[in-house]
Amino acid sequence: MDRKDTGVVIETGQTPTIIRYNPGVHVSRRDFLMAGALISAGVLGVGEARAQAPAPGAAKPVAPMMPVTDKERAYMKQAIDEMRRAGVVDKTGGPFGAVIVLDGQIIASTGNSVLKDMDPSAHAEVNAIRQACRKLKTLDLHGATLYTSCECCPMCYATAYWARIGKIFYAAAWQDYDDIFDDAKIGVDMAKPYSERLLAPQQIMQAEGQQVWKEYRAMPSTTRY
């Protein structure tokens, strides 16, 4: 597949080599997750989160809500088929399925495999993104759409973000299964200050960490993504 139209700019001959995504706005991982968590927890609306996030701000809503076509419903039906296969038929994990479509082609279709792979990160969306990236040999799924049978958890939303997926459709919502899975609780937890969160992230040895960043920046050739 021709990937020249993905918006990826590879600046060779520069020091360091830079891989940049034209359409994207760089947002720090922490700011992005915080803004997303606040929105997810219902603490902020998207606009409010953008207004409160420090420069350069939270991700801009590049893919607004839009009318849904029969084709999109068909892609979602496939995601729900994957959901049933994973959770009810093959029992590879929870009932979650995902499909990724790019340029009108399904490039990944898979379900949750947390139990089969003994991997807590093997959510359907992450599995689909891994499958799509390996298939196309790219980190950049710009322009792709993710159809997921269930509302993305923060990990899957962030993975889709890092993969530069442009739009997400979901079917079942967190409240439809919050008696079984923790998605909603994670969103609420992430909206809290670190000291009040369940895992209480605590910073230590910042100077030592900063030193490696210094070394990385000084390297003659680094890849940024």
Output the smallest distance, CB 118 to Zn ion, in A. Answer: 16
Output the smallest distance, CB 207 to Zn ion, in A. Answer: 34
Q: From residue 46 to residue 85, what is the string marking binding to Zn ion with x (rule CB under 5 A)?
A: ----------------------------------------
- List 11, 48, 72, 125, catalytic entry: 125
Confirm or reject binding of residue 156 to Zn ion (CB under 5 A). Answer: yes
Output the smallest distance, CB 150 to Zn ion, in A. Answer: 8
φ, ψ of residue 98 in degrees (nearest 5): -150, 145
* Strand intervals (E) in 12-119: 18-21, 97-102, 105-111
Would residue 125 show up in a list of annotated catalytic residues for this protein? yes
Confirm or reject binding of residue 33 to Zn ion (CB under 5 A). Answer: no
Q: Please give the C-alpha separations between residue 169 and each of 68, 72, 147, 195, 221, in angstroms, as whole numbers.
A: 9, 9, 5, 33, 38
Nearest CA-CA partner of 192 in 41, 27, 48: 41
Confirm or reject binding of residue 153 to Zn ion (CB under 5 A). Answer: yes
**Helices and strands: H and E segment counts in the chain:** 8, 6
> What span, in angstroms and rounded, lies between the C-alpha atoms of 44 and 139?
30
Confirm or reject binding of residue 123 to Zn ion (CB under 5 A). Answer: yes
Point out which residues bind Zn ion (CB under 5 A).
123, 153, 155-156
> Which positions are catalytic?
125
